[in-house]
């Protein structure tokens, strides 16, 4: 049940990534509405409200995206929460002794109308936001918080859960039932179910305050992404690829600036501009716009919100007796505690810094060779790194891009899924399934052997106003089998720059890697084989592993030879160019590892200190200085725009999880590489699906990995993978993944 709430919050706040996000808690509603308002709502918030109604049509029912009306959202959410709370009260007050069937199963069944409403809520939040929606979101976030607290602090309900949990320790249930009970009990306990009434009341108040702060933090970032656009004139396009120029012209025209060229304040626009533009002053401006989101000393500044969030989080965990937020958060993660997470990061950090020194030296040499009297600055890093790439490896990223057509890469995803998972993807006839935006496409997913329906896959590929930046995956419906088998409705969402009419969508190698990454999350959803909804939840420092692993198939020979075709000639990418890509596979790892780890380390530092008098601006600067952060690089997500951590709690003290998952990824990739059939070895693929994808959270992640690999993962593979020296002292996850 609690995990269902986490899925709701994922949809509510739309965090990046991903996939199976869960924030620690949901926060609340006013206990009573005015009688007149309640009477008015009754007229519009029953099952006639399409946002609550059972989905109809093919594929086991699909969302009515074509009938969404924002005016119906607030009444649907309020009515849905009311209905769910009534179900919870009925379960909690059941006079019969608590059993798995009359308590846990009933909790798993409850809340379906609200779940449907949250699907639409999450879509408005992430994909089609508007000022009108944000007002509704601001009103609803504290109500959602109160609703959540009414469940997690329901004393009678928790007593029933605890009784079942205690009994299961004496007389174990079936394995999947035991896991469900364990997860639900731990979630309730972590959310303060064992607190006294006064502490529970304060706990709920804190959650309510946090929910409003999270929403405001997220919307402030979105505001700065929408409002800081850089427009170029024709004589300011030096160095930019033709495909990018055409897309920038369209982006400007869409914003009423015909004849100009728009660099939007998103990573997919900023990154290629900084890589190719010869205009150093404009590069600096674009860089400043992007890395100053939420940090402009105006009403949308997020620094004060960070302080408030940290203080409230700290107060909340102190109510339960924890020393700091990180200690509380990591207890049910693979790392178990902040010390283990820090140990891993500190093992990699020195090698990353050493590589940055080498990269900057190479870039400075290029600048001097070109008689440029400059010192490399952050807005120069991508530009000169590209020059070094060409100089060292004779590799031109724009040349590679000509072979990376979005349509072909989509087919490459399907090919990979067919080879590993035995899935087949067929386009759904236009109009047979409703979509929320004209660019969204839908595919039917079936088993290649049996023809059985697995589900649907939605793709929303392009950036637009009102859509948050980044790339992520989500589900509109997850697979379960305990109450009738339900087909999966999975969605991938990207922010590729939409091409000009008649032009192909060409993307960078990094964007192609991200495309495979997010599809890995979708395959995790589609391959699920669990009985109970709670088992679809994810463990934060494990759930990125499956998606990171799928990235590896982009660079396999079968994908390269079959799908990397020149957008004009249709010719396969030349073997010599492929070899250059492989030769440069560890290029720029200093930059990539350092910008990520800086964010992950800051995340952990924020949550292991006393935040009482913290000033995020000075704290960030001081902490990075203590880490010897190179001046030429900034955090991947600076504090005021760190939505993973401050727009909710899914990645709070969990951003390190990408690195933890990458240890597993590198180790698992070596297992494939060493197998007789390589990355397409049938036995390895079978183990991949059986142990790493299908179980979701129905077994302990560490045990699942051991079943796949035969041992715990070692850090050695990660260091080799990034071209870093392997530490003399062997590090592994053995003592941390029990």
Question: 553 falls in which pLDDT band (50, 70, 90)?
Answer: very high
Contact 592, 385 (CB under 8 A): no
Q: Kindly state the helix (H) or strand (E) to which residue 386 belongs, with its residue range.
A: helix 381-393
Counting residues of the chain whose pLDDT is more than 70, the rounded percentage is 92
- Rounded to an integer, what distance in angstroms lies between the CA atom of residue 722 and that of residue 223? 36
- What pLDDT does residue 343 have? 95
Tokens representing residue 358 in the block: 């080498």
* Any domain includes 521: no
Q: Centre a 10 Å sphere on the Cβ of residue 389 and count the other Cβ atoms it contains.
A: 19
DSSP, res 681: -
Among 266, 291, 316, the domain-final residue is 291
What is the predicted pLDDT for the residue at 483? Answer: 78
pLDDT score for 38:
36
443 near 457, Cβ under 8 Å? yes
Nearest Cα neighbor of 436 from 174, 125, 82 is 125
Q: What is the mean pLDDT of residues 128-150?
A: 95
**Structure token pair of residue 288:** 């400043």
pLDDT tens digits for range 707-716: 999 999 999 9
Please tell me whether residues 62 and 159 are part of one structural domain: yes
Tokens representing 516 are: 């495979």
The closest alpha carbon to 493, from 104, 18, 101, 12, belongs to 18
Of 272, 291, 310, the last residue of a domain is 291
Q: Per the structure block, which two tokens stand in for 142?
A: 């504290």
H helix and E strand count, the chain: 29, 7
pTM of the model: 0.86
> d(Cα 614, Cα 623) in Å, to the nearest integer?
12
The pLDDT mean for the chain works out to 91
Asked if 131 and 162 sit in the same domain, the reply is yes
- List pLDDT tens digits, range 148-159: 999 999 999 999
474, 676, 732 from 671: Cα distances, Å:
29, 10, 16
Domain boundary residue among 270, 291, 312?
A: 291
Both 130 and 233 in a single domain? no
Flag whether pLDDT at 737 surpasses 70: no
Number of domains in the chain: 2
**Alpha carbon distances (Å) from 76 to 37, 53, 63, 418, 549:** 14, 9, 14, 39, 39
**Of 47 and 667, more confident:** 667
- Measured over the CA atoms of residue 624, residue 629, residue 631 and residue 635, the dihedral's sign is negative
Q: DSSP 3-state assignment of 697?
A: coil
Pairing of strands 441-447, 261-263: unpaired
Give the rounded percent of residues in the chain with a pLDDT score beyond 90.
Answer: 88
* Residue 24 pLDDT > 80: no
pLDDT in tens, 557-595: 999 999 999 999 999 999 999 999 999 989 999 999 999
The Cα–Cα gap between 546 and 665 comes to 8
pLDDT band of residue 729 (cuts 50, 70, 90) is: low
Claim to verify: residue 33 and residue 150 sit in the same structural domain: yes
pLDDT grade for 727, boundaries at 50, 70 and 90 = confident
- Judgement on whether residues 248 and 144 belong to the same structural domain of the protein: no
Is 547 inside any structural domain?
no
List, as one string, the DSSP characters of 486-543: --EEEEEEEEEPPPPTT---B--HHHHHHHHHHHHHHHHHHT---SSGGGG---HHHH
Q: What is the CATH number of the domain that holds 163?
A: 1.10.1370.40
Same domain, 89 and 215: yes
pLDDT band at 33 (very low <50, low <70, confident <90, very high): very low
Q: What is the pLDDT of residue 726?
A: 87
Task: State the residue for tokens 């004393």.
Answer: 155
Residues 82 and 203 occupy one common structural domain: yes
**Is the per-residue pLDDT at 31 higher than 70?**
no
> How far, in Å, CA of 706 to CA of 156, rounded?
39
pLDDT at 363 over 60: yes
What is d(CA 124, CA 133) in angstroms, rounded to the nearest whole number?
7
Reply yes or no on whether the pLDDT at 87 is more than 50: yes
106 and 240 co-located in one domain: no
Find, among 545, 526, 489, the residue nearest to 661 by Cα: 545
Q: Tell whether 37 and 85 lie within a shared domain.
A: yes
**Element holding 364 (H helix, E strand):** helix 338-369
Q: Report whether pLDDT(214) > 70.
A: yes
> What is the rounded distance in angstroms from the CA atom of residue 17 to the CA atom of residue 544?
9
Could you tell me whether strands 488-496 and 453-462 are parallel, antiparallel, or unpaired per DSSP bridges?
Answer: parallel
Same domain for 64 and 99: yes
Question: Looking at residue 650, what is its pLDDT?
Answer: 84
Dist. CA 519–CA 457, nearest whole Å: 10
Residue 297 pLDDT exceeds 60:
yes
In the predicted structure, residue 138 carries a pLDDT above the cut 70: yes
Q: Which residue, chain included where needed, has tokens 């079943």?
A: 707
For residue 490, report the phi and psi dihedrals to the nearest 5 degrees. Answer: -110, 150
> Cα(381)–Cα(577) distance, rounded to whole angstroms?
23
* Calpha distance 464→461 (Å, rounded): 10
First to last CA, the chain: 25
Q: Are 311 and 612 in contact (CB under 8 A)?
A: yes
Q: Are 312 and 301 in contact (CB under 8 A)?
A: no
Take residue 35 and report the two structure tokens written for it.
């009688």
Residue 126 has pLDDT above 60, yes or no: yes
Dihedral pair phi/psi, residue 555, rounded to 5°: -95, 15
Mean of the pLDDT values across residues 257-262? 97
> Does 131 share its domain with 238?
no
Give the pLDDT mean for 251-266. Answer: 96
In a domain, 101, yes or no: yes
242 and 215 fall within a common domain = no
pLDDT score of 362 more than 70: yes
- 406 domain residue, yes or no: no
Inside any domain, residue 400 = no
What is the DSSP track for 289-325?
HHHTTT-SSSTT--HHHHHHHHHHHHHHHHHTT-SSH
Number of Cβ atoms within 10 Å of the Cβ of 506: 25
Instruction: State how far the Cα of 714 lies from the Cα of 665, in Å rounded to an integer.
Output: 10
Q: Is residue 80 part of a domain?
A: yes
Tokens of 418: 């067919």
Q: d(Cα 656, Cα 422) in Å, to the nearest integer?
A: 32
Whether the CB-CB separation of 390 and 362 falls below 8 Å is answered with no
Q: Which domain holds residue 284?
A: 228-291
């Amino acid at each position: 049940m609690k995990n269902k709430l986490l899925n709701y919050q994922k949809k509510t706040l739309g965090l990046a990534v991903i996939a199976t996000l869960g924030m620690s808690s949901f926060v609340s509603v006013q206990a009573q509405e005015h009688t007149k308002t309640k009477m008015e709502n009754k007229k519009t918030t029953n099952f006639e409200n399409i946002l609550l109604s059972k989905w109809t049509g093919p594929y086991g029912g699909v969302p009515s995206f074509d009938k969404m009306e924002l005016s119906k959202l607030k009444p649907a959410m309020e009515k849905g929460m009311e209905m769910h709370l009534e179900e919870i009260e009925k379960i909690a007050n059941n006079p019969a002794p608590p059993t798995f069937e009359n308590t846990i199963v009933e909790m798993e069944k409850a809340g379906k109308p609200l779940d449907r409403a949250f699907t639409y809520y999450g879509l408005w939040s992430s994909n089609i936001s508007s000022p009108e929606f944000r007002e509704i979101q601001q009103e609803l976030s504290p109500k959602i918080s109160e609703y959540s607290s009414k469940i997690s602090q329901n004393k009678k309900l928790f007593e029933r859960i605890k009784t079942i949990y205690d009994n299961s320790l004496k007389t174990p249930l079936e394995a999947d039932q035991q896991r469900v009970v364990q997860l639900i009990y731990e979630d309730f306990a972590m959310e303060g179910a064992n607190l006294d009434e006064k502490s529970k009341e304060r706990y709920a108040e804190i959650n309510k305050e946090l929910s409003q702060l999270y929403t405001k933090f997220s919307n402030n970032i979105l505001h700065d992404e929408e409002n800081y656009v850089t427009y170029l004139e024709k004589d300011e396009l030096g160095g930019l690829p033709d495909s990018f120029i055409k897309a920038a012209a369209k982006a400007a025209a869409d914003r009423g600036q015909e004849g100009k060229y728009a660099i939007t304040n998103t990573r997919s626009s900023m990154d290629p501009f900084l890589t190719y533009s010869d205009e150093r002053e404009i590069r600096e401006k674009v860089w400043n716009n992007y890395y100053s989101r939420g940090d402009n000393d105006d009403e949308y500044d997020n620094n004060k919100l960070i302080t408030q969030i940290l203080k409230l989080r700290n107060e909340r965990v102190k109510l339960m007796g924890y020393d700091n937020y990180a200690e509380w958060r990591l207890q049910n993660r693979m790392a178990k505690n902040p010390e283990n997470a820090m140990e891993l990061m500190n093992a990699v950090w020195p090698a990353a810094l050493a590589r940055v020194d080498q990269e900057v030296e190479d870039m400075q040499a290029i600048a001097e060779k070109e008689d440029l009297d400059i010192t490399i600055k952050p807005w120069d890093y991508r530009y000169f790194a590209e020059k070094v790439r060409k100089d060292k490896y004779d590799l031109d990223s724009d040349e590679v891009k000509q072979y990376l057509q979005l349509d072909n890469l989509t087919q490459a995803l399907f090919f990979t899924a067919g080879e590993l998972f035995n899935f087949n993807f067929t386009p759904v006839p236009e109009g047979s399934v409703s979509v929320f935006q004209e660019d969204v496409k839908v595919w039917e997913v079936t088993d290649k052997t049996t023809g059985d329906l697995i589900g649907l896959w939605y793709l929303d590929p392009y950036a637009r106003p009102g859509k948050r930046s980044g790339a992520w995956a989500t589900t509109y419906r997850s697979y379960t089998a305990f109450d009738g088998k339900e087909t999966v409705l999975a969605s991938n969402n990207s922010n590729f720059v939409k091409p000009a009419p008649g032009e192909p969508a060409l993307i960078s190698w990094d964007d192609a890697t991200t495309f495979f990454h997010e599809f890995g999350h979708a395959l995790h959803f589609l391959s699920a084989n669990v009985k109970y909804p709670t088992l679809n939840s994810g463990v934060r420092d494990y759930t990125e592993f499956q998606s990171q692993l799928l990235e590896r198939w982009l660079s396999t020979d079968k994908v390269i030879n079959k799908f990397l075709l020149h957008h004009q000639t249709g010719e396969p990418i030349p073997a010599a160019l492929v070899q250059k890509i492989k030769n440069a596979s560890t290029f720029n790892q200093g930059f990539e590892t350092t910008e990520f780890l800086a964010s992950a380390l800051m995340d952990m530092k924020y949550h292991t200190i006393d935040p009482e008098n913290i000033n995020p601006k000075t704290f960030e600067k001081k902490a990075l200085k203590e880490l010897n952060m190179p001046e030429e690089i900034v955090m991947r997500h600076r504090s005021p725009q760190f939505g993973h951590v401050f727009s909710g709690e899914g990645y709070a003290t969990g951003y390190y999880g990408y690195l933890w998952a990458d240890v597993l990824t590198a180790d698992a990739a070596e297992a494939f590489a060493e197998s007789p059939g390589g990355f397409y070895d049938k036995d390895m693929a079978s183990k991949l699906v059986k142990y790493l994808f299908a179980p979701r959270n129905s077994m302990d992640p560490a045990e699942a990995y051991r079943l796949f690999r035969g041992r715990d993962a070692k850090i050695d593979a990660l260091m080799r993978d990034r071209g870093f020296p392997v530490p003399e002292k062997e590090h592994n996850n053995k003592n941390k993944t029990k």
